[in-house]
Amino acid sequence: MEKIDTIDVQILDLLQENGRMKRTELAEAVDLSVPSVSERMRKLEDRGVIAGYHAVVDPKRLHIDITAFVRVISVGSDHYAEFVEAVSAMDEVQELHSITGEGSHILKVRVPNTTALENLLGRIQHLPGVRGTRTSLVLSTLKESRFLKAEPMVLHQPEPELNGVET
């Protein structure tokens, strides 16, 4: 049974705030030795709790000014795997979620301008199994975070993959 304790939670909180924090600083913050912190980090990585370390890039600085949420309405599940593979390969698509309610999927997309958005929507609408889309443009972003508040716990076992895609 895999668990995380209060020290693991502290390490996760610190790394989510600053993924480049030096191990010596982490060790000092959690009152452990550097080898102990390194071992805990390795275990968190091996268990899939820490899925990676990434730079956060400001889209506006790269002239990517449009963020939109696109609901995809599909005709059924016959083209599910093909749709997921095609949309996942589109650089403009930052998130792809299978949903309930109106539509089958919701996408978070970022593009430089409305012309690029129109072109992207055309590509999505021409995918097999796509009946249509509904798009909402983001006017302003008041909060955007990937921070997850962890607590000491027994870790959840990952579910098996569905059609080659983790759920």
Q: Where are the domains of the chain?
A: 3-55, 59-137
What's the whole-model pTM score? 0.85
pLDDT the model gives residue 156 = 86
Stronger pLDDT, 162 or 108, i.e. the higher one: 108
Q: What's the Cα-to-Cα distance from 115 to each of 65, 77, 82, 144, rounded to whole Å? A: 12, 30, 26, 25
Where residue 166 falls among pLDDT bands split at 50, 70, 90? low
Best CATH choice for the domain 3-55 from the list 1.10.10.10, 3.40.630.10, 3.30.413.10, 3.20.20.70: 1.10.10.10
Distance CA 111, CA 90 (A): 11
Distance CA 68, CA 142 (A): 14
Output DSSP code: residue 54: -
Give the ranges where the chain is alpha helix by DSSP (H). 6-17, 23-30, 34-46, 80-88, 114-125
Helix axes 6-17, 34-46, angle to 10 degrees: 80
CATH 3.40.50.2000 correct for 59-137 = no
Where residue 25 falls among pLDDT bands split at 50, 70, 90? very high
pLDDT the model gives residue 1 = 82
pLDDT the model gives residue 58 = 95
pLDDT the model gives residue 70 = 98
